[in-house]
């Protein structure tokens, strides 16, 4: 994977942290299209697959408030909807665990 999504207190996928998903280079167009629909700090930060990112539990909550309303849009391209589901799942798991979500560049 180009960018691992890891939930836990460490940005290393060991011990108390768990890999909950990932983003591949060929999925960047879907992220770009989602960014054209909503101005989200979360999407901006994860669109750079070459830098590690860390999102606090508060930022996870904020990211979900940006992304969840997009589910109601009927005109989403299939790869946009797939990316949206992947990101919401990772963010929701982090929220449930009340832990940070980390993006780790491979």
Q: What is the pLDDT of residues 16-29, one digit of tens each?
A: 789 999 999 999 99
Dig out the tokens for 85 from the structure. 């589901």
Q: Which of 20, 24, 22, 33 is nearest to 81 (CA)?
A: 33
Q: Which of 2, 6, 1 is nearest to 90 (CA)?
A: 6
Sign of CA dihedral 66, 69, 74, 78: positive
The pLDDT score that the predictor gives to residue 49 is 85
Q: Which of 64, 66, 78 is nearest to 30 (CA)?
A: 78
The pLDDT score that the predictor gives to residue 43 is 97
Residue spans of the domains in the chain: they are 3-105
Q: Rounded mean pLDDT of the chain?
A: 92
* CA separation for the pair 6, 17 (Å, rounded): 6
Which residues lie closer than 8 Å to 64 by C-beta, 6 or more apart? 88, 91, 92, 95
**Does residue 73 register a pLDDT over 70?**
yes
Q: Please state which CATH number belongs to domain 3-105.
A: 3.40.1760
pLDDT in tens, 41-65: 999 999 988 899 999 999 999 999 9
**How many CB atoms within 10 Å of residue 64?**
17
The pLDDT score that the predictor gives to residue 2 is 84
């Amino acid at each position: 994977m180009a960018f691992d999504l890891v939930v836990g207190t460490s940005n290393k996928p060991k011990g108390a942290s768990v890999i909950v998903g990932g983003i591949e280079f060929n999925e960047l167009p879907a992220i770009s299209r989602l960014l054209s629909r909503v101005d989200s700090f979360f999407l901006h930060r994860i669109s750079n697959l070459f830098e590690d990112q860390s999102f606090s539990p508060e930022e996870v909550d904020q990211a979900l408030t940006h992304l969840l309303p997009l589910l109601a849009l009927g005109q989403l391209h299939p790869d946009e909807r797939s990316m949206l589901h992947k990101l919401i799942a990772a963010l929701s798991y982090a929220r449930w665990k009340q832990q940070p979500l980390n993006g780790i560049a491979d």
